[in-house]
């Protein structure tokens, strides 16, 4: 397995181009199953998750071409049965369920896998599809769904940890071809959901309210092809922003959309960093020292759970006590033990991590447990003195395109070592 070798103690400076959003492009790719016509998706990051989704669509019968950041997909003749060996590897693959039901009125999709960051049930997905008229059963590791016809309804998608992003995407995609009007209450408000709705409206769907807690979908008879550019990845932008602040540097994030990063930029300012907005992106300049913070993860527009690990790495450098509380996933502190191998002082008390920062970090061998934990360990390795080796960076390759290349261009001493 590949790993990153980092010689720490460097300061990041320069410009980095933020790529297209992984969390937006995966459901958008799934949405191409709703039409027989050709769809073109631009600014697509070359990630292992994107490649997995390409394989899933091809296994369903779609033709897929991916070159130079552009996907061309035509799902003229498709099957309703998803490949178990592909889908089980990626959590986001569950988003094929909604469009298959919308187009074929039947689907058999294996229960998905992904990062080990706690239980992520799909009960709200099933609840939403059942409200549209689908009959659902789980058997042999598959979700089997069928219906003589989908119809509109009023659906509440609030869950224990707030609205479900992929659940909202699945219900929206199923409802665009349903008869009548569907009202989704407690819908996810994330920019990635808004981008999906823009894509679907470009295909001819009639969706209103995306970005608010209430989305209204008026069903249409058929959808056509579309040419769409994916939004910038707010989590990649946030990760490089934190890396700039943790390293004491100054980095311009080209293409970053500040309006999608409100809570992240607010906490960066509170930590001492300066943020400059400008046409085409923003610039993050580290303060003289990192200040301690209190952070609680929340659904959008609150602080994103996908930035929790990166901030924890930075807060290990802040003299004083910081508290990070995780309210979205119950097992998302696996990176804490690895940060402690670098010299961090972190205690876990229920849903909160107590970080007593200010102690110098020193390089060590560490193991990535999930996608964002990988990014946190890379940030800590850049800030630490000495050599850090981050193992299992295949996790990181799921959500960051050529991260080591981008960091090296900013001055990091980092290289990928190829494993067997």
Here the tokens at position 234 are 């707010």
**How far is CA 252 from its chain centroid?**
22
Reply yes or no: is the peptide bond before residue 260 cis, omega within 30 of 0. Answer: no
What is the distance between the terminal CA atoms of the chain, rounded to a whole angstrom?
6
Residues 6+ apart with CB under 8 A from 235: 21, 22, 23, 304, 306, 307, 372, 399
Regarding beta strands 320-325 and 294-296, do their DSSP bridges make them parallel or antiparallel, or are they unpaired?
Answer: parallel
Q: Is 279 exposed, middle or buried (0-12, 13-18, 19+ CB in 10 A)?
A: exposed
- Rounded-to-integer distance, Cα 253 and Cα 145, Å: 43
Query: Catalytic residue at 115?
Result: yes
Q: Is 262 exposed, middle or buried (0-12, 13-18, 19+ CB in 10 A)?
A: middle
Residue of 95, 115, 189, 197 marked catalytic: 115
Here the tokens at position 84 are 């178990």
Long-range contacts of 371-374 (CB under 8 A, 24+ apart): 371/115, 371/395, 371/396, 371/398, 371/399, 372/235, 372/306, 372/307, 372/308, 372/309, 372/310, 372/335, 372/399, 373/309, 373/334, 373/335, 373/338
Q: Which residues carry out catalysis? A: 115
């Amino acid at each position: 397995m590949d790993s990153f070798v980092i010689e720490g103690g460097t300061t990041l400076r320069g410009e980095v181009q933020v790529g297209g959003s992984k969390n937006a492009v995966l459901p958008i790719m799934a949405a191409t199953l709703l039409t027989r016509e050709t769809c073109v998706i631009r600014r697509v990051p070359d990630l292992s998750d994107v490649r997995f989704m390409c394989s899933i669509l091809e296994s369903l019968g779609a033709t897929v071409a991916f070159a130079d950041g552009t996907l061309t997909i035509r799902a003229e003749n498709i099957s309703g049965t998803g490949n178990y060996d592909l889908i089980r590897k990626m959590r986001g693959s569950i988003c094929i369920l909604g469009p298959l039901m919308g187009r074929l009125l039947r689907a058999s999709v294996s229960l998905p896998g992904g990062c080990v960051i706690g239980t992520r049930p799909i009960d709200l997905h099933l609840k939403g599809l059942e409200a549209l008229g689908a009959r659902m059963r789980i058997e042999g590791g598959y979700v089997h769904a069928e219906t003589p016809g989908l119809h509109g309804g009023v659906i509440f998608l609030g869950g224990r940890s707030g609205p479900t992003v992929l659940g909202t995407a699945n219900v929206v995609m199923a409802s665009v071809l349903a008869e009548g009007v569907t009202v989704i209450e407690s819908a996810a408000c994330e920019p990635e959901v808004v981008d999906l709705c823009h894509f679907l409206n470009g295909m001819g769907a009639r969706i209103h309210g995306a970005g608010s807690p209430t989305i209204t979908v008026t069903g249409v008879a058929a959808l056509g092809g579309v040419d769409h550019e994916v939004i910038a990845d707010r989590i990649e932008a946030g990760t490089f922003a934190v890396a700039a602040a943790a390293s004491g540097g100054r980095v311009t994030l080209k293409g970053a959309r500040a309006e999608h990063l409100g809570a992240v930029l607010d906490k960066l300012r509170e930590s001492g960093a300066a943020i400059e907005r400008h046409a085409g992106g923003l610039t993050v300049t580290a303060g003289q020292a990192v200040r301690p913070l209190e952070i609680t993860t929340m659904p959008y527009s609150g602080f994103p759970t996908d930035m929790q690990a990166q901030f924890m790495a930075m807060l290990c450098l802040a003299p004083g006590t910081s508290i990070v509380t995780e309210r979205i996933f119950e097992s998302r502190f696996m990176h804490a033990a690895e940060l402690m191998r670098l010299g961090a002082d972190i205690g876990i008390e229920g849903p909160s991590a107590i970080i007593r920062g200010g102690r110098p970090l020193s390089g060590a061998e560490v193991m990535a447990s999930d996608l964002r934990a990988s990014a946190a360990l890379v940030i800590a390795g850049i800030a630490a003195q000495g050599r850090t080796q981050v193992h299992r960076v295949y996790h990181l390759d799921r959500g960051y395109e050529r991260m080591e290349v981008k960091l090296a261009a900013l001055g990091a001493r980092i290289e990928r070592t190829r494993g067997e």
